[in-house]
Structure 1
Amino acid sequence: MTDTPAAHPVFPDLKGASVFLSGGGSGIGAALTEGFLRQGAQVAFVQRSDATAFCDRMEAETGARPLFLPCDVTDIPALRQALAEVAERQGPIQVLVNAAAHDDRHTTAEVTEDYWDRAQAVNLKHYFFAAQAVIPGMKAAGGGSIINFSSISYMMGNAGYPAYTTANSGINGLTRSLAREFGPDRIRVNALAPGWVLTERQKDLWVTEDGLQAHLDRQCLKEALVPADIVGGVLFLASEASRMMTGQALVIDGGVVVTG
């Protein structure tokens, strides 16, 4: 795994599990896909861009090939169709990871109504409808785990992307409400809020030496986060190791928001 900080523990209950991720072919999502493959899970993911080369590499490196379905997550009928196809091909989805998002920078003044709606569609709306689609199968199977990716950006009160931070905060509310509603069905719903993870996109668009150093100064742990740092937390939330944990927001940020 690229930039692997340490070997991840093995969760035996994830072997053979049917896992679905949005945005699973690049950035943090790609690290998650690889992490689940190395647990022996059946892994499917969607994203807009072609991920064939990534799937080829995963098959060569892990011995297992993820199922990739091209899909724009803002197209809810297409997302529902993809989820149904995955359930048909690898069994009812037991673990749903809503990870696809787009953290474009923008100012309040420049946001139009259309931009606002697009931002909520790509950062929040599809989380709800993906969960809605998989919950019946999880109920029938006696339980499941839904993991919604948020971000510490809204916890920090960051400026520079208000539509994005609004969606992040909404994800937290959605997580708590679904956890309450479907807890009796043994469906656990948790959020995971990463800090500033140095994906290739982040490095290409926004990372500067001064900016990164200023952020590291706020972290308790003085190392930059990489995608592999997020994998262990997701595997834990997906497995029965966290069977009595729901409605929570797990923060992996090197110690920024907890300490101020």
Structure 2
Amino acid sequence: MANSSVILSSFICHKSLPQYTLNFAQSNSRLKLRLTQAVSISCDYTCLEVKDVSYRPPGTQVNLLNRVSFSLPERSFGLIFGQSGSGKTTLLQLLAGLNKPTSGSINIQRYGNDGKPNQPPQLLPPERVGIVFQFPERYFVADTVLDEVTFGWPRQRGGLQLKEQLALKLQRALSWVGLNGISLDKDPHSLSGGYKRRLALAIQLVQIPDLLILDEPLAGLDWKARADVVRLLRHLKKELNVLVVSHDLMELAALVDLCWRMEMGGVLRKANIPL
């Protein structure tokens, strides 16, 4: 079977991915300027802010969510737990743009180093949210790993530069989830349970999302695959905003920065992980 580097080279119709090196023939002043720009530090940060979100399905008289509010700073790991039927998955669907709130707002807010907003809040666009549902492998549709991870990509014609950019993003996503050594012409349904979850994550990470949502990421996995996914999430929280809905609280506890309990009736409250 072909390895990932061969498949990627074929994908971009080029012998190798572009290499980036520093040109030391630049003038001293230009080199100094670039170095200065490289080490500049910005204290700005962004935050997911959900404010007073309620949701009532069309044609019904009962709210599934009632004035849900919470915030999640960038590069944080948030955990939501609660009884089945309390509204957790409904909230995830709103965050992913699959449904629209009946009232309230879901925004990205940027703050300055003084802790105050430095621009108006912006609606969280659905295309900037990656969501991995429970048992995502049930929705695989392609015959190879490469076809699966690129299934939703734009189909318009593009030049070599576009293909190189997409291939680099694919290579980065596969590396993040530990699939860079796997054959990309392998049948995704033949992968182990843990590797299927890795592939589902890679699909969402090709375009780096502002928010990565996972619904029961450990469900149905054996102990080794569960440990592998936890280690993977520990790495991803360094790069992304991660929000997880799960009943597996103890296995995820060490990763959690913020935690909420969803109570019956769709009421979200800040909470500690039950011991």
TM-score interval, smaller chain: 0.3 to 0.5
More strand by share: 2
Alignment TM-score, normalising by the size of structure 2: 0.31
- Larger RCO (alpha carbons 8 Å, 6+ apart): 2
Return the index of the structure with the highest Cα Rg: 2
More helix by share: 1
